[in-house]
Structure 1
Amino acid sequence: MQRKHAVVLGTALSLVVSCASQQSDTELYQSQDWVTDGVFTQGVEGPAVNRDGELFAVNFARQGTIGQVSGKGKAGLYLSLPQGSTGNGIRFDAQDTMYIADYTGHNVLKVTPDKTISVLAHNPQMHQPNDLAISDKGILYASDPDWQNNKGQLWRILPDGQTQLLRTNMGTTNGIEVSPDNRTLYVNESVQRRIWAFELDEQGMIGDPELFYEFNDHGLDGMRCDENGNLYVARYGAGEVVILSPKGQLLRKVVLKGQYPTNIAFGGKQGKQVFVTMQKRGAIETFTSEYAGRSFNRHTL
Structure 2
Amino acid sequence: MRKRGLTIAILVAFLLAAAGFAGAKNLYETKPVPKEERHKISEIVPAKAKWEKVVKGDGGFMEGINFDRKGAIWMVSPMSGELLTVKRDKVQQVRKYPGPVGAKFHKDGRLFITDITGVIHAYDPKTGKSETAVSTYKGQALNGLNDLIFDKDGGLYFTEPMGSSATNPVGRVFYLPAGSKEPVLFADKIAYPNGVAISADGSRVYISEFGKNRVLAVPAKNAPPSPETPYVFGQYEGGIGPDGLAVDQEGNLYVAHFQAGQIVIQDKDGFKYGTIRLPESAGTFTTNLAFREGYLYITESSKNEVWRIKVNKEGLVPYGLQ
Common fold: TM-score over 0.5: yes
Contact between 1:64 and 1:87, CA under 8 Å: does it hold in 2? yes
Cα distance change of structure 1 residues 241 and 184 upon mapping to structure 2, 3 Å threshold: same
The residue identity in structure 2 corresponding to 1:223 is L
Deviation at 1:113, TM superposition (A): 3.0
Deviation at 1:172, TM superposition (A): 1.2
Q: Which runs of 5+ in 2 are unaligned?
A: 1-44
Whole-Å Cα distance in 1 between the matches of residues 65 and 161 of structure 2?
19
Cα distance change of structure 1 residues 278 and 139 upon mapping to structure 2, 3 Å threshold: same
The answer to whether the aligner puts 1:223 opposite 2:245 as a matched pair is yes
Q: Aligned residue for 2:133?
A: 120
- Paired residue secondary structure (1:138): coil
Aligned partner (choices 211, 218, 230) of residue 209 of structure 1: 230
The answer to whether the aligner puts 1:162 opposite 2:164 as a matched pair is no
- Paired residue secondary structure (2:316): coil
Output the TM-score relative to the length of structure 2.
0.76
Whole-Å Cα distance in 1 between the matches of residues 151 and 199 of structure 2?
8
Q: Aligned residue for 2:284?
A: 259
Deviation at 1:40, TM superposition (A): 4.0
The answer to whether the aligner puts 1:78 opposite 2:94 as a matched pair is yes
Deviation at 1:51, TM superposition (A): 1.3
Contact between 2:46 and 2:311, CA under 8 Å: does it hold in 1? no
- Paired residue secondary structure (1:25): coil
Query: Sequence identity, in percent?
Result: 22
The residue identity in structure 2 corresponding to 1:65 is E
Question: Once the two structures are superposed, what CA deviation does each residue of 1:238-293 show, in whole Å capped at 9, x if it has no partner?
Answer: 110111111101113111132111111122xx2x2222111211111111221121
Cα distance change of structure 1 residues 65 and 146 upon mapping to structure 2, 3 Å threshold: closer
- Paired residue secondary structure (1:191): helix
Tell me the matched-pair count. 265
The answer to whether the aligner puts 1:39 opposite 2:58 as a matched pair is yes
The answer to whether the aligner puts 1:67 opposite 2:80 as a matched pair is no
Whole-Å Cα distance in 1 between the matches of residues 253 and 183 of structure 2?
26
Q: Aligned residue for 1:175?
A: 195
- Aligned counterparts, 1:102-113, within 5 A: 102-103=115-116, 105-113=117-125
**More strand by proportion, 1 or 2?**
1
The residue identity in structure 2 corresponding to 1:75 is V
Deviation at 1:90, TM superposition (A): 0.5
Q: Which runs of 5+ in 1 are unaligned?
A: 1-23
Whole-Å Cα distance in 1 between the matches of residues 223 and 269 of structure 2?
24
Question: Once the two structures are superposed, what CA deviation does each residue of 1:7-46 show, in whole Å capped at 9, x if it has no partner?
Answer: xxxxxxxxxxxxxxxxx93343x3221112x4241x2111
- Aligned counterparts, 1:1-301, within 5 A: 25-28=46-49, 30-36=50-56, 38-41=57-60, 43-59=61-77, 63-70=80-87, 73-81=89-97, 85-103=98-116, 105-114=117-126, 115-123=128-136, 124-147=140-163, 149-150=165-166, 151=169, 152-159=171-178, 160-202=180-222, 208-218=229-239, 219-256=241-278, 257-267=282-292, 270=293, 272-295=294-317, 299-300=320-321
Output the TM-score relative to the length of structure 1.
0.81
The residue identity in structure 2 corresponding to 1:110 is A
